[in-house]
Amino acid sequence: MKIFEMSALELSRLLQKKEISAVEVTQNFVERTAAVEPQVQAYITRTPEAALAAARAVDEKRERGEPLSPLAGIPLAVKDNICTGGLRTTCGSRFLEEYIPPVDAAVVKKARDAGMPLLGKTNLDEFGMGSSTENSAFFPTHNPWDLQRVPGGSSGGSAAAVAAGMAPLALGTDTGGSVRQPAAFCGLVGLRPTYGRISRAGLVPLASSMDQAGPLAFTAADCALLLGLLAGEDRDDPTSSAEPVDDYPATLPEGVKGLRVGLLTENVPQDFDREIIAAVQRAAAVLAENGAVVEDAALPRIRSSLEVYHLLCAAESSSSLGRFDGLRYGCSEPGENVNEMYSRARGEGFGPEVKRRLLLGTSILRENRYEPFYRQALRVRALIRRDFEEALARFDLLLGAVAPTTAYPLGEKKDDPVAMYHADICILPGPLAGVPALSLPCGLSAAGLPIGVQLTAAPFQEAILFRAAHLLEQEQGPAPLRPPAL
């Protein structure tokens, strides 16, 4: 097996035994990226020299016998809406094309401190607004399983980088499913942690009440390893939680015996692809065969999630992106007045999807629309959260679909925003409730494309998600899904 085909856990074991060096590992991923990146286009910015320098530092520390993190020497790709000090962070937008943050985001600092070489910044839908990574201002990313299909979004660059063997681990962000849907489309494990489990400091906001960073990897064990590093309270993020961090990798062998699993029948309607429905039913059967108690579960207000999410996300985005005026960020020729300058800067700097959502958000925050739209959406969100609380008081896990279909062709939904939004119907409820959810592959479609299923748990119960995901992986076979050779 080639180095770039190994899991992060396998690489960690070899590094700790000194059977390979961090430089060897990083060089292997750098070379793999050079070979396949022209076809996949997962990265906006690549940093091979800096990554190799970081790897050399890890090897030197290991030779001196210094204590190291299990992730020391394991390269990482980072979504380009997570700030990296001294390295440009574009958010996939022309507005920030040359923006260089002064400091690292909290998650990047933890990764660097642990000795993880940073391979580069990955492509995304502009400011995280999209589900296909076609809304990037620079170029679309291609799915390594089929280069004519989308990798999902908005963390499509991170997912494609891991799936194509260009990084063993990647960070994405998930506001309304932007880690889990790309994971499903690219055959990966993707986790949206509990809101507050990982610090949001240094993450360029889309909707601050829902934004959360999360890992993408080939296996649940790899995701568990990275979450263990990144989780925890951060004084720079008042929304981060002081809840104790579990030893996630240690819980993986515990299995699912005795766990109560709720099958979300509403989350898999009959108009979904039959292969998606079959995959969810297959996962439920495997859990039951291994000692879980599987019963139907209900989230009565789940069908309101699409409208509620987009109203709240648009409103929060309108507020968050108000800072982009062409003076502090981006650039613009001065106009005759402030309004003209703002209009010119945003007209040139923002793409169509960003403009669409900002106009919607600004509209619903107007005085005559605030109560019937924004406030009403908050009320329904509270009901959705209550549905989750009631369901998760009865069940340890909820099982459902990630998306109505497998990865669709590039361009198919790009000009139809309503169809694009509908594709996220399964993954929007969790962020509204602030609960953790995990996507994992559950076989291939007849067309040879990955199918994902979703597990959801109560707040800060990520360990249960990893246990169930690990068991489902083992039942499918020891090796993770890999796309055809590029």
Active site residues: 79, 154, 178
Look at residue 344 in the predicted model and tell me its pLDDT: 78
- In tens, the pLDDT along 386-430 reads 999 999 999 999 999 999 999 999 999 988 888 888 889 999 999
Q: Is the pLDDT of residue 27 over 80?
A: yes
Distance CA 135, CA 127 (A): 9
Q: How far lies 204's CA from each of 27, 75, 126, in Å?
A: 30, 22, 11
Name the pTM for this structure.
0.97
Average pLDDT, the chain: 94
CB 191 within 8 A of CB 462: yes
Share of the chain above pLDDT 70, in %: 97
67-71, 300-304, 333-337, 463-467: the lowest-pLDDT one: 333-337
Q: Of the given ranges (75-89, 184-198, 358-372), which has the lowest mean pLDDT?
A: 358-372
The string of pLDDT tens digits covering residues 46-74 is: 999 999 999 999 999 999 999 999 999 99
- The pLDDT assigned to 340 comes to 76
Q: Is the pLDDT of residue 268 over 80?
A: no
Given a cut of 80, whether residue 479 has pLDDT beyond it is: no
State the pLDDT at residue 334.
Answer: 62
pLDDT band, very low/low/confident/very high, at 282 (cuts 50, 70, 90):
very high
What the block records as the tokens of 150 is 């989308």
Q: Tell me: pLDDT of 300 over 70.
A: yes
- Please tell me the least confidently modeled range out of 31-35, 158-162, 321-325: 321-325
Task: Quote the pLDDT of residue 404.
Answer: 94
Q: How confident is the model at residue 330 (pLDDT cuts 50, 70, 90)?
A: low
Task: Evaluate if residue 269 carries a pLDDT over 70.
Answer: no
Domain residue spans of the chain: 3-256+465-476
Average pLDDT on 3-9 reads 96
Which of these CATH numbers, 1.10.420.10, 3.90.1300.10, 3.40.50.720, 3.90.1150.10, describes 3-256+465-476? 3.90.1300.10
Cα distance between residue 251 and residue 258, in whole Å: 15
Q: Cβ(432)–Cβ(388) under 8 Å?
A: no
Predicted pLDDT at 335: 63
As beta bridge partners, residue 348 has none
Taking 80 as the threshold, does the pLDDT of residue 373 lie above it? Answer: yes
